[in-house]
Amino acid sequence: MELLAILLFLSIFILILYGFPVAFTLGGLSMIYALCFLEPGAFSALPPRVMGIMSNFVLIAVPLFIYMGIMLEKSGLAESLLETMAILFGRVKGGLAISVIIVGAMLAASTGIVGATVITMGLISLPTMLKRGYTPEIATGTIAASGTLGQIIPPSVVLVLLGSVLNVSVGKLFAAALLPSIFLVICYIIYILIVARVKPESVPAMPADEIAAFKQGNFLGKVVKAFLLPMMLIILVLGSIFAGVATPTEAAAVGALGATLLTIMQGKFSLDVLKSVMQETTHLTSMVFVILLGATTFTFVFREMNGDDYLVSLIQDANLSASVFLILVMVVVFVAGFFIDFIEIIFIIVPVVAPIFIALEVDLIWIGILLGLNLQTSFLSPPFGFSLFYLKGVAPPSITTKHLYRGIIPFVVIQLGFLALVIAFPDILNFVRLAD
C-alpha cells in the first residue's frame, strides 16, 4: 500500500506535466486508486474532510484578496505611483528602475497577485524604460522581478494557501514574511545602484526638463495623492492583522472594500469595471477551490495508504538530518516551479512533506516563508518562469526571449542567495513575535 501511495503521487505529477487538468487529475486519479485498493468504508471519511476544508474561515480571504488585487489593477493607481516615483528618483542614474521596484513592492503589498502585477507593470513601465534608454535586459529583469514580489510580500495569496495547508497561523506567516521581503527589495535596489555605477549608460537618469515640467503646479499634492491612498490601504490591511484587531480574513474584507473606494476616488469605477472584476475574481477563485477539492481527495487517499508514514520512516531510516531533507525539498520545489503553477505545488507537494517536517520538529512558519521565497524564485527562473511568460505577452515585438532570460538571471542569483541566507539565519524571521 505504501508503494502504491508513492506510485499515485508520481502518476499525478507525470499526468500534470503532460498537460492534463490539475484539479480533475488530482481528484479523479486518487478516486480510481481508492476504488481499487482501499476498503469501501474508507470513503465515509472523505465528505467530512472536504466540508471541513470548504468551511475553513481563513480561506474566505482568498477571493477577497483576489478581488482587491484585480480592483486595484483597474484603479490606475499603479500608473500615478510610477510616474511620481520616477520624478522623485529622476536625477539618479537607475532611478526609474528603482521606482519600478518600489512601486512593484507597493503593488505586491496591495494585491498579492503576481500575474496582475507583472502585466500591469509591463504595460505601464516597459515602454517608458525603453524610451528613456534603458537596455532591454535591465528593463525586463527589473519588471519581472519586482512583479513577483507579490508571492512573498504580505498580504499574499500564496501565504494564505500555505498557512491553510501547513495548518499554521496566516497572521504569523504575514508577520514573518515582512522583514525578509523588505530586505529582498533592498537587495534589488542595491543591484540597480551597482549597475548604475558599473554601466551608467544602461540606466540613464531622466531628462531635467521632464522633471521640471512635472514639478510645476501642486507637486506636493501629486506626491501625497499618489502615495497616501495605497499606503492607507496597506496600513489598514496589514496593520489591522499585526495589531490583532482583525483576522486575515477580516482584513481581506477591509482591503476589498478599500480597493473599491480607491477606484471610485480615482474616477475609474463603473458597472462594467465591477462586472469585469467580479468575473475575474470568480474565475480565479473557482480554479483555486476546485484544485483544493482535488488536492483534499489526493491527501486523504495518500494518507489512507500510509504514504505519509512511509515517507517519514524512509527519511528516518536514511538518517537524513532536517537540514539535508530541507535542501532536498527546496530543490524539488524549485524544479517543479519550472513546470507547474504555485497552486499545484502547494496542494500536491506541501501536504506530502509537511508531516515529515513535523516529525523532524522543524518550525513550520520558517518552512512556509522558505517555500514562499522558493516559489517566487521559480516564477523568475528560465526557461519556464511564469513571470517571464506574463511579461513577454505584453512586451513590444523588439523584446526577445533572449532579452528576458539575460535580464532576469542576476535577480535569480539574488533570490537564491537570499533564500540561502534565510535558511542559514532563521532568526531573520523573529519579527513573527509581533503576531504571537
pLDDT, residue 112, reads: 57
Burial of 127 (0-12, 13-18, 19+ CB in 10 A): middle
> What integer is the mean pLDDT of 262-270?
85
Indicate the range of 69-83, 96-110, 314-328 predicted with least confidence.
69-83
C-alpha cell of 129?
Answer: 524604460
Q: What is the pLDDT of residue 188?
A: 93
- Across 108-112, 155-159, 270-274, 387-391, the highest mean pLDDT is recorded for 270-274
Helix pair angle (170-198, 136-147), 10° resolution: 170
Question: Where is average pLDDT lowest: 206-220, 336-350, 406-420?
Answer: 206-220
Most confident of 20-24, 190-194, 206-210, 331-335: 190-194
Query: Which pLDDT belongs to residue 433?
Result: 44
Tell me the domain boundaries of the chain: 2-435
- Range name among 39-48, 152-161, 350-359, 368-377 with the lowest pLDDT average: 39-48
Backbone CA torsion sign across 398, 399, 400, 403: positive
Residue 432 — very low, low, confident or very high, per pLDDT cuts 50/70/90?
very low
Identify the residue whose cell numbers are 542559514. Answer: 424
**H helix count then E strand count, the chain:** 21, 0
The pLDDT value recorded for residue 272 is: 92
pLDDT band at 384 (very low <50, low <70, confident <90, very high): low
Where does 10-120 show beta strands of DSSP type E? none
State mean pLDDT over 226-249.
77
Q: What is the pLDDT of residue 111?
A: 57
The per-residue pLDDT for 340 is 67
Listed in sequence order, the residues at least 6 apart from 396 whose beta carbon sits closer than 8 Å to its beta carbon are: 126, 127, 130
- Rounded Cα–Cα distance for residues 157 and 365 (Å): 16
Averaged pLDDT, 212-234: 72
Q: pTM for the full model?
A: 0.75
* Furthest-apart CA atoms within the chain: distance in Å: 77
Q: When comparing pLDDT for 3 and 311, which is higher? A: 3
Question: What is the pLDDT at residue 436?
Answer: 44
Higher pLDDT, 189 or 284: 189
Instruction: Tell me the pLDDT of the chain averaged across its residues.
Output: 80
Q: What are the distances in angstroms from CA 348 to CA 23, 122, 182, 217, 297?
A: 11, 31, 29, 55, 11
pLDDT interval class at 434 (50, 70, 90): very low
Whether 147 shows a pLDDT value over 90: the answer reads no
Q: ω into residue 155 within 30 of 0, thus cis?
A: yes
pLDDT at res. 214: 65
Q: What percent of the chain has pLDDT over 90?
A: 8
Q: Is the pLDDT of residue 116 over 70?
A: no
Hey, what's the cell of 82? 510610477
The answer, yes or no, to whether the previous bond of 383 is cis (omega within 30 of 0) is yes
User: For residue 435, what pLDDT is reported?
Assistant: 41
Between 299 and 67, residue with greater pLDDT: 67
Say if residues 380 and 411 touch (Cβ distance below 8 Å): yes
Can you give the C-alpha Rg of the chain in angstroms? Answer: 22
The DSSP call for residue 238 is I
